[in-house]
Amino acid sequence: MPERPRPTAPLIIEVCGGSNGYQGLVESLHHGLEEAPALTQFYSHLDFDELVAFAASSWKKKREEFFGFSRFLESSPSAYRIFSEIYSIGFPWLNKNKAISPQQEAKHNKLNPFHGRDLEERLNEVAPATVEKLVKQLQEEPLKYIFRCKYDDERNEYDDKRVVMDFHNVYPASGRIVPAYAAEISRIMSKYPQEYHFAVPKEVPSPAPTLITPTQITPPNTTGQLSLF
């Protein structure tokens, strides 16, 4: 079974645009991976960029439109429908910020072995129970992520929904936040499978054989053109 490398913190920073000082995408990616651990079981069927776009934008959608997003998930007939809807937001966001350096280009290509092709067929290979698990996780209320220095200030606010991000410095400084997020995402993804599965092509039934009589035989095509369909 083919394998791909693990995403490193420097690559994650470039994919999320953090090298340009942008924090929003890498932040949402971290929160999305934290709150949807079922994505671990999807990763073998996804490009890395597809995982990033889905995890980040689904979390952002959940935070901004929780009840509408939950109703959409409830009514969606398939994983492909869910992913397609999320990608209509996620990929423009990702492509706007992604800035891959020549040094990271080869690794980035290896992390995206499907090149976006055959998404529906790939998602059809995911077990229905895994899809159901992901939907339930996406329907849970988003958590509130805080730095350690804010813990006492917010002790009376949403205590059951607060998560202290101890992978950050107690008093995070400019220039350290994005690298800390990227390092934590790399740690989370160290538990993701490296193997990936190519979608199995759909079988096309062969036509029933027909008998050809001598009078039905026609001369071969002599125009020099070959018709495949």
**Does residue 227 form part of some domain?**
no
The rounded mean pLDDT for the chain is 86
pLDDT at 122: 96
Q: What is the mean pLDDT of residues 127-150?
A: 93
pLDDT at 148: 86
**Does residue 85 form part of some domain?**
yes
Question: What angle is formed at CA 71 by the lines to CA 70 and CA 72, rounded to 5 degrees?
Answer: 90
Instruction: Give the helix ranges, DSSP H, for 17-78.
Output: 24-35, 48-64, 66-75
pLDDT at 201: 55
pLDDT at 155: 61
What is the percent of the chain where pLDDT is above 90? 72
142, HSE (Cβ side, Cα atoms, 13 Å): 23
- Number of Cβ atoms within 10 Å of the Cβ of 109: 12
| pTM listed for this prediction | 0.84
**Does residue 193 form part of some domain?**
yes
Residue of 40, 52, 6 lying closest to 127 (CA atoms):
40
**Does residue 154 form part of some domain?**
no
CA–CA distance, 229 with 222 (Å, rounded to integer): 17
pLDDT at 35: 97
pLDDT of 197 > 50? The answer is yes
**Does residue 42 form part of some domain?**
yes
Q: Higher-confidence residue: 89 or 213?
A: 89
pLDDT of 184 > 60? The answer is yes
Q: Higher-confidence residue: 202 or 160?
A: 160
- Whole-Å CA distances, 120 to 79, 88, 181, 196: 8, 15, 31, 15
Q: What is the mean pLDDT of residues 55-84?
A: 95
> Which residue in this structure is represented by tokens 């689904």?
58
**Does residue 118 form part of some domain?**
yes
In the chain, the number of structural domains is 1
**Does residue 221 form part of some domain?**
no
* Structural domain that includes position 37: 9-143+169-202
DSSP 152-187: TTTTTS-GGGEEE-TTS-SS--TTTHHHHHHHHHHH
* Lowest mean pLDDT segment, chosen from 75-89, 159-173, 194-208: 194-208
85-138 residue pLDDT tens: 999 999 999 999 999 999 999 999 999 999 999 999 999 999 999 999 999 999
DSSP 68-89: HHHHHHHH--SHHHHHHHHHHH
**Does residue 44 form part of some domain?**
yes
Q: Higher-confidence residue: 201 or 123?
A: 123
pLDDT of 187 > 50? The answer is yes
Looking at the DSSP bridge assignments, the partners of residue 146 are: 164
pLDDT of 178 > 60? The answer is yes
CA–CA distance, 153 with 197 (Å, rounded to integer): 47
- Number of Cβ atoms within 10 Å of the Cβ of 119: 19
